[in-house]
Structure 1
């Protein structure tokens, strides 16, 4: 990070677009609670479904994940960018066994999800158009007078 940025922020001299603390929404363990969070704050069930997510910190979930490790995607709770994860269907038996040991050593560091068919978008490459995976993350800002998507 930028040295001293938090001092300048606390003094009110700058605004940070992604203010400190907003990263909690990126936490994969928090994601697994979203249906309950939505219902708690709105009094209604979430409109969109959640991807099934097993919290490895829960004994029954850990047992399931270990039994199905070759079928699941296992991610570090605080990880990003595809680091520190296992894509079971693409992993070797040896890789699955090594990852199972990591899971058992620190289960609270991981969640697991089924693999998903990701959308693609045509991208121009040196050889012409080629499909690439898309990860669209919309952000919405709302106030009494404006809506920005």
Structure 2
């Protein structure tokens, strides 16, 4: 159901002037990317073309895909390439992963890029600390679900609290991902905490902190048999012409005993996610 819903969303964001059957391609960095299997799987399940930057070319203000029958216009590009590498003429000039001139086509409205360039600002963990205010500003009322308390270290009071209570908190780099650049206070040594405290003092604007959450556990098959391991559930909400909540999600599990880090890059795994329905 995830690829089906994703395809519907990709089709819904195609420019309205196009035909009802837009050409959609999945842009991947290539076979050496750690998530290449996911890129190939999604493209296969959605019946879309899987392309690399070298498979695409800009001609006469439009994005085209090279095929054995000649060039074929591309209407929607579901990109799995970071902003900086999308177009060497606009961003990183050394990039060979993107397409020269792609941003000119995008600015002209001749191709839809999903996610849109710049959407990664939401990945900045400092944004999370402002979510309640953002919701109230746009919705006119406080959020229904409370935020996890988040201390933005660029604020003096928050910085003071984090430095004094680091042993009890999870401290993260605002641009960090994959479980890197973070400190889990209760699971760290005194030396590790002191070293991280020095990093936060040097660049307070680069860090946020949150309480250590008591993640649920579930039975997990490990080398010694079956044992409890911490996990979290990541739901997917797809937004096109309407909001679609995918009936499922990604359940990530920390395979190391006692670990709260579920990221696959840190040795985490995944589990089937079952949705029960009457």
Band of TM-score, shorter chain: 0.7 to 0.9
Cα deviation for residue 9 of structure 1 reads 5.7
Cα deviation for residue 19 of structure 1 reads 2.5
Q: Which residue of 2 aligns with 1:19?
A: 116
Equivalent runs, 1:55-74 vs 2, <5 Å: 55-74=152-171
Matched, 1:120 2:214: no
SS in 2 for 1:118: coil
Structure 2 unmatched ranges of 5 or more = 1-28, 30-52, 54-96, 246-278
Cα deviation for residue 73 of structure 1 reads 0.5
More strand by share: 2
TM-score (norm 2): 0.48
CA contact (8 A) 1:72 1:89 kept: yes
Q: Which residue of 2 aligns with 1:41?
A: 138
Matched, 1:100 2:194: no
Cα pair distance change 1:132/1:60, threshold 3 Å: same
TM-score (norm 1): 0.84
More helix by share: 1
Cα deviation for residue 134 of structure 1 reads 2.8
Q: What are the superposed Cα offsets for residues 51-108 of structure 1, whole Å, 9 maximum, x if unpaired? A: 0111111111111111101010000001011111111111111111111110100000
Cα deviation for residue 124 of structure 1 reads 4.5
Cα deviation for residue 11 of structure 1 reads 2.0
Cα pair distance change 1:67/1:127, threshold 3 Å: closer
Cα pair distance change 1:17/1:121, threshold 3 Å: farther
Q: Higher relative contact order at CA 8 Å, sep ≥6: structure 1 or structure 2?
A: 1
Cα pair distance change 1:4/1:107, threshold 3 Å: same
Cα deviation for residue 140 of structure 1 reads 2.3
Matched, 1:8 2:99: no
Q: Which residue of 1 aligns with 2:176?
A: 79
Cα pair distance change 1:15/1:100, threshold 3 Å: same
CA contact (8 A) 1:9 1:15 kept: no
Structure 2 distance, partners of 1:18, 1:120, is 32
Q: Which moved more, 1:113-122 or 1:33-42?
A: 113-122
C-alpha RMSD over aligned residues: 2.4
Q: How many equivalent pairs are there?
A: 148
Matched, 1:28 2:125: yes
Q: What are the superposed Cα offsets for residues 4-28 of structure 1, whole Å, 9 maximum, x if unpaired? A: 2473364257644323222222221
